[in-house]
Amino acid sequence: MMNIQLNNPKLLQYNAYIDGQFLSGNKKDFFTVSNPFSSEIIAKVGNCGTEETELAIAAAKVALESWKILTGIERSSILRKWFELILENQDDLAKILTLEQGKPLAEAKGEIAYGASFIEWFAEEAKRVYGDTIPGHQPNKRILVIKQPVGVVAAITPWNFPNAMITRKVAPALAAGCTIVVKPSELTPLSALALAVLAEEAGIPKGVFNVVTTDKSVAVGQVLTSSSVVKKISFTGSTPVGKILLKQSADTVKKVSMELGGNAPFIVFEDADIDKAVQGAVASKYRNAGQTCVCSNRFFVHQSVCEEFTNKFVAAIKELKVGNGMDEGVTIGPLIEDKAVCFVDDLVKDATERGGQIMHGGKTLDSNPLLYEPTIIGNANSDMKLFSSEIFGPVAPIFSFETEEEVIQLANDTSVGLASYFYGNNHSKIWRVAEALEYGMVGINTGMISTTVAPFGGIKESGSGREGSKYGMDDYLNVKYLCWEI
Ligand code: SIN
């Protein structure tokens, strides 16, 4: 097993964190976590089942009573301390993240800062859960609106952002006065457990934040969604799994936030600044080796600038360095597992069979089956599977278009609606296109839209709810109105 050297070795924990304690390990029931670059086992982690999940829910229920009655200022100062501790331990947390997830260390450090920024933001918002007064409908009626925590929350989080997708849910939940049970991905549980170590050190009371580590996702998901104690489910992951969780949550009519799959269009109009568009394309496509829900999935380029854009895009990705995320200068790490490579490879083969032209890449490196070359496919068309599939890998198909009307129709021709991007300089067109795109987020002349201060989320089958920003607390609060007769 890999020996991981950290400045703060206690960040490495191998068992679930429930009711303020890391459970003692059951030597028989554990699952292994591997480094995607070397396949080396880096940890054996305690495997929770339904019993431990019930314990975590019960602990969160008890803790709720004292956590929700703290003032916003009290909760804020504890969250602030957690934020500071995360930044103090940024290097170690990034190392753990890269070892279990594979992304380049510099990107992992960026994720730790991004993740911490949600805690800082919601520590501030904790103080500002304002209500409302409404002029009464009768002379002797006074109407007030107050907001209260929804109660116990369950969060199911993905492997592509093992830190930030947890803090983006936990921070607003805790700020609002809720308690939470998190089930991290079985591929990346160590980052979640390290967050729990620092949460405890920051003074987050026992039972307020629980981490259930497991590879029995179906059974544990069933307990979380069917529990009548759990009042809300927040999930980030694929649309098919989101639909199952939604169905399972229906019987107890839970509040739900679903951050599901995307199929982002990236449109380059004829009046775009092509160099800037290429820069945005590289940033949005190859971040995390293409494994984010907001990565551009389909590049639509006006036919008059298609050749120029393609040539410059190819030249730019030749500069990317594929390899071990722990090595200096590497910009693209491995894909998460074999299944992901097979999926991407199948899409690339299908595209070439249907007339696509590989302009660069198109296969894994001979040295490592999980390292996929940054790839550009020219001459793409809507019959290809990748037109309607979330690629989740470093592959950029380029479609050429002629008119604004045509490209809007193509861009919206998908069941999902998370992120979208376009480049152009005509102001009227910018408004028209921004309003016509059926997406929750639109990047205009930028390929990077993720930030704590803006509402992240999608429409259509990309889900519901918003994370980050002033809107991010709403998902963890119930609105209650008081009608007072005087
Ligand atoms: C995601 O892939 O789910 C999130 C990406 C981001 O926050 O930018």
Joined together, the tokens standing for residue 149 give 């925590």
C-alpha pair distances (Å), 412 with each of 219, 261, 415: 36, 15, 8
Pairing of the two strands 459-460 and 416-417: antiparallel
Pairing of the two strands 21-22 and 17-18: antiparallel
| Residue owning tokens 């093992």 | 162
Per-residue HEC secondary structure of 78-131 comes to HHHHHHHHHHHCHHHHHHHHHHHHCCCHHHHHHHHHHHHHHHHHHHHHHHHCCC
Nearest-Å Rg of the Cα atoms of the chain is 23
According to the model, what pLDDT value does residue 148 have? Answer: 98
Residue nearest to atom 3 of ligand 1 (CA): 293
Tell whether ligand 1 has an atom less than 6 A from the beta carbon of residue 462.
no
Amino acid making up residue 386: L
Tell whether ligand 1 has an atom less than 6 A from the beta carbon of residue 200.
no
Q: How far is the CA of 293 from the centre of ligand 1 (A)?
A: 6
According to the model, what pLDDT value does residue 87 have? Answer: 98
Tell whether ligand 1 has an atom less than 6 A from the beta carbon of residue 185.
no
Q: How far is the CA of 234 from the centre of ligand 1 (A)?
A: 14
The CA distance from 119 to 166, in Å, is: 10
DSSP string, 420-465: EEEE---HHHHHHHHHHS-SSEEEES-S----TTS-B--EETTEE-
For the whole model, what pTM was predicted? 0.97
According to the model, what pLDDT value does residue 450 have? Answer: 97
As averages over each run of 10 residues, the pLDDT of the chain (486 residues) reads 92 98 85 97 96 98 98 98 98 98 98 98 98 98 98 98 98 98 98 98 98 98 98 98 98 98 98 98 98 98 98 98 98 97 98 98 96 98 98 98 98 98 98 98 98 98 98 97 98
Tell whether ligand 1 has an atom less than 6 A from the beta carbon of residue 47.
no
Active site residue 293: yes
Fold of the CATH domain 9-260+462-483: Aldehyde Dehydrogenase; Chain A, domain 1 (3.40.605)
Catalytic pick among 100, 120, 259, 404: 259
According to the model, what pLDDT value does residue 2 have? Answer: 85
C-alpha pair distances (Å), 304 with each of 82, 265, 421, 423: 52, 18, 19, 14
Tell whether ligand 1 has an atom less than 6 A from the beta carbon of residue 293.
yes
According to the model, what pLDDT value does residue 22 have? Answer: 97
Q: How far is the CA of 379 from the centre of ligand 1 (A)?
A: 28
Tell whether ligand 1 has an atom less than 6 A from the beta carbon of residue 450.
yes
The CA distance from 427 to 420, in Å, is: 18
Residue nearest to atom 8 of ligand 1 (CA): 450
Joined together, the tokens standing for residue 197 give 């170590």
| Residue owning tokens 């490592």 | 368
Active site residue 295: no
Q: How far is the CA of 230 from the centre of ligand 1 (A)?
A: 25
| Residue owning tokens 């002349």 | 445
Fold of the CATH domain 264-451: Aldehyde Dehydrogenase; Chain A, domain 2 (3.40.309)
Residue nearest to atom 7 of ligand 1 (CA): 450
Q: Domain ranges in the chain?
A: 9-260+462-483, 264-451
Tell whether ligand 1 has an atom less than 6 A from the beta carbon of residue 291.
no
